[in-house]
Amino acid sequence: MNDQIYSNPNGFGYAVSQEQRNKVLRNTYWLLALSLIPTVLGAWVGVSTGITRSLGGGMGMIVFLAGAFGFMFAIEKTKNSAAGIPVLLAFTFFMGLMLSRMIAMVLGFKNGTSLVMTAFGGTAGVFFVIASLASVIKKDLSGMSKWLFWGTVVLMIGSIINIFVGSTMGMAAMSTLAIGIFSAYMLYDIKQVVDGGETNYITATLAIYLDLFNIFQSLLALLGIFGGERD
């Protein structure tokens, strides 16, 4: 058996076979691909019905945070059971629903459809580049977690402030920062699976999905701000 010993930031070692790491990574990628289906469905429902149209400003933030953290708590509780995958897929439907308000706004531009497809293509491109890097980088990236955490805190505070300020340039700055932070987070999350630091593929899928979601949302916001063409 090809076992390797890795050290986490606390100094404790863990041994995970190459076969197990490959299996977790493979299952993570399959579940990640599957999670895009309810996301697209949720976005379609939201755009078609306009159910999220009124969720702007502070109310939208409250609904989003309450729903997202509620689902993530449920995923954590069910990640080792048969209910884990359905709960994760329900979460991705919710996330698609929450994304539909921004998608509807971008689709209101004359070139809205192309902007959405460009954001999707850009996100896919980032994923493939990051996934490739994670497979070849040999350095332990566990030390990134502290810096990424504080970067996310700064991003959240800035985003909340900007909700009340309503600055377009502030939104552009936060979106640019988010793309950088969550691209780095994706590298960290995938590397954790590659190195054997994460052995639950549902947890791994959730982490990488959130990275992708935030990158797509931020790219879409930037494209809408700087590339949207009005009739």
Q: Where are the domains of the chain?
A: 19-227
Provide the 10 A C-beta neighbour count for residue 125.
Answer: 10
Give the residue-averaged pLDDT of 169-198.
93
Of the pLDDT bands very low, low, confident and very high (cuts 50, 70, 90), residue 121 is very high
Residue 145: the pLDDT is 83
Residue 57: the pLDDT is 62
Residue 165: the pLDDT is 83
The residue among 162, 56, 48 whose CA lies nearest residue 107 is: 48
Contacts of 153 (CB under 8 A, 6+ apart): none
Residue 4 pLDDT greater than 90, yes or no: no
- Most confidently predicted of 10-14, 154-158, 214-218: 214-218
Residue 10: the pLDDT is 39
Global confidence as pTM: 0.88
Residue 2: the pLDDT is 39
Residue 7 pLDDT greater than 70, yes or no: no
Lowest mean pLDDT among 105-119, 141-155, 174-188: 141-155
Residue 13: the pLDDT is 44
For the chain, the distance separating the N- and C-terminal CA atoms, rounded to the nearest angstrom, is: 63
Residue 50: the pLDDT is 86
Q: Say how many CA atoms lie within 13 Å of 179 toward its Cβ.
A: 19
The residue among 106, 103, 91, 87 whose CA lies nearest residue 51 is: 103
Average pLDDT of the chain is 88
Residue 5 pLDDT greater than 70, yes or no: no
Provide the 10 A C-beta neighbour count for residue 33.
Answer: 10
Could you tell me what percent of the chain has a pLDDT over 70?
Answer: 91
What is the tally of helices (H) and strands (E) in the chain?
7, 2
Judge whether 16 and 4 are in contact, CB under 8 Å.
yes
